[in-house]
Amino acid sequence: MAPPHATDYSSSAPVDSSAPVAPLFKVNSPNVEYTDSHILSKYTYSNTVVNKQADGSMIVEPVEQEYHFKTERTVPRVGLMMVGLGGNNGTTLTASIYANKNKLNWRTKSGVHEPNYWGSVTQASTVRLGVDGKGNDVYVPLSEMMPMVNPSDLVIGGWDISSKNLAEGMERAQVLEYDLQRQVYDELAKIKPLPSVYYPDFIAANQFDRADNLIPGNDKRAHVDHIRKDIRDFKVANGLDKVVVVWTANTERYAELIDGVNDTAENFLAAVTASHEEVAPSSIFALACIEEGVPFINGSPQNTFVPGLIELAERERAFIGGDDFKSGQTKFKSAIVDFLVNAGIKPVAITSYNHLGNNDGKNLSSHKQFRSKEISKSTVVDDMVAANDILYKPGEHPDHTVVIKYVPSVGDSKRALDEYECDIFMGGRQSISVYNVCEDSFLASPLIIDLVVMAELMTRIQYKTGEMTKFSSFHSVLSLLSYMLKAPMVSRGTPVVNALGRQRSAIENIFRACVGLAPNNEMGLEHKIWQ
């Protein structure tokens, strides 16, 4: 039986961990081999290298490199541990997984509703696989491109500074309809979050009254070891093959970057041992996961991954991802600015106003915590602006203002107003205003599913180039998760990509490479030339 801090939504039938997932399709190509345990593919990666000359001209050279990919076909039994389990996102996601697993229906004034995973790119979107014999497009679910975890099979657990069980947390969140809450209440009441780390200086003082479920003491190294033991115990108690940890707790203030404290891996480890005041709770969880070899994803905007922690993850070859869930307003912004700039229209000012009344909004009413969110929201258009030197001179950037206000009466139903002021043809002006209303947790919860499903999948994919003698895992910083994150992390020296279309294409095309398929293209030559 699962311990009281976990819930098992997997099938009641025994899980055969030795059985690979049967694919919806198989690629008929000499570049692909299916074994009982792996998908093996050979892939030619084409790129274009541009050499800028002193006179301003460019020499362009097409280049190719051969990659070999090896993907484990067997989908493991996976646990999801959330930091902030008892909050809006944690309770909404857990209840929703239970509703999907058990095919619950619930009634509202608009009728009867059925559970779904809408809003999840892995579970509710399709990709163009190719064309049929008549040239018609053929689409398949993204989840069928590779052997992925079914979110309904996740085992849920985690930590929270509040001792309320998940049923009480769900009531407090006021996100789900009452008829659904009623049906999942007893199951969620069995789940009590594990004690968590609480360093008052890192979150708003208005969170103090929730903090009654804490790991004792002030020894930060002891806190890391405590969390590591929690992960191991959870894994054993639930018969898990793998665990993924996601931070969905409060936004912290930015940690101060200090030479000799968090600038290198060794200095950061020493700072943890010394319980230095600039080691944040989220960094404690990240360190525990790195040392346990468990993927850790930061869903809030603070700088959890200080330079020393990133260096440590790279050294230990542990997977990390962040920062800050990209749910509604920012996701739309990264799409519309990409559209405008690519259409030759120049955004000169972007004003984003938000008000919400959930606990996230309450925490963000503190200036230091708001500053973390402001940074993650404000940098989302940088790469798109930098891509067009016709519209923008060097150093030029749109005026970008972000405002967040706490209004308790609106609860989780976030209001977001964006105005885009643009320069257009011959000195003209265009103003675009967008008003969005949606429960924040209904947008964020599917992102957690995607982050967990894709992070776990990346632990089963390896690659090798012609120069390499053995297969290797991908880089520790999981930039492939950028589609779901406002301020995506990248490895050192790698440019940040915020444009939503490019992020989505990267997901599709890496999956295609792993099954030996060329990247999708939209040329449609079969329809544009004389036959």
3-state helix vs strand vs coil in the chain, percent to 5:
35, 25, 40
Residue 318 corresponds to which amino acid?
A: A
| The pair of three-digit structure tokens given for residue 285, joined into one six-digit string | 């969880």
Distance between CA 310 and CA 48 in Å, rounded?
A: 30
Of the residues 414, 418, 440, 450, only one is catalytic, namely: 414
pLDDT tens per residue, the chain (531 residues)?
444 445 443 333 344 455 677 789 999 999 999 999 999 999 999 999 999 999 999 999 999 999 999 999 999 999 999 999 999 999 999 999 999 999 999 999 999 999 999 999 999 999 999 999 888 899 999 999 999 999 999 999 999 999 999 999 999 999 999 999 999 999 999 999 999 999 999 987 888 888 999 999 999 999 999 999 999 999 999 999 999 999 999 889 999 999 999 999 999 999 999 999 999 999 999 999 999 999 999 999 999 999 999 999 999 999 999 889 998 888 889 999 999 999 999 999 999 998 887 777 777 666 676 666 666 566 788 889 999 999 999 989 999 988 888 889 888 888 889 999 999 999 999 999 999 888 889 999 999 999 999 999 999 999 999 889 999 999 999 999 999 999 898 887 788 899 999 999 999 999 999 999 999 888 887 777 776
How many C-beta neighbours within 10 Å does residue 253 have? 19
Per-domain boundaries in the chain: 7-14+76-325+442-514, 329-440
Q: Do 510 and 457 touch, CB atoms closer than 8 A? A: no
Distance between CA 322 and CA 376 in Å, rounded?
A: 11
Determine the pLDDT at residue 258.
Answer: 96
368 among known catalytic residues: no
By three-state DSSP, how is residue 412 classified? coil
242 among known catalytic residues: no
Q: Specify the fold of 329-440.
A: Dihydrodipicolinate Reductase; domain 2 (3.30.360)
Which CATH number does 7-14+76-325+442-514 carry?
A: 3.40.50.720
Buried b (16+ CB within 10 A) or exposed e, 316-336: eebbbbbbbbbbbbbbbbbeb
Comparing CA positions, the residue from 403, 314, 318, 305 lying closest to residue 353 is 403
DSSP label at 17?
A: T
How many C-beta neighbours within 10 Å does residue 263 have? 16
**In which element (H, E) is residue 355 found?**
strand 346-356
360 among known catalytic residues: no
Of the residues 8, 230, 324, 383, only one is catalytic, namely: 324
Distance between CA 4 and CA 91 in Å, rounded?
A: 15
Comparing CA positions, the residue from 490, 463, 486, 466 lying closest to residue 476 is 490
Of the residues 164, 192, 362, 486, only one is catalytic, namely: 486
Q: Is 308 exposed, middle or buried (0-12, 13-18, 19+ CB in 10 A)?
A: buried
Residue 284 corresponds to which amino acid?
A: I
C-alpha 25, offset from chain centre? 27
How many C-beta neighbours within 10 Å does residue 378 have? 18
Of the residues 101, 331, 362, 373, only one is catalytic, namely: 373
Residue 423's beta-bridge partner residues? 346, 429
- Strand blocks (E) in 234-280: 242-247
109 among known catalytic residues: no
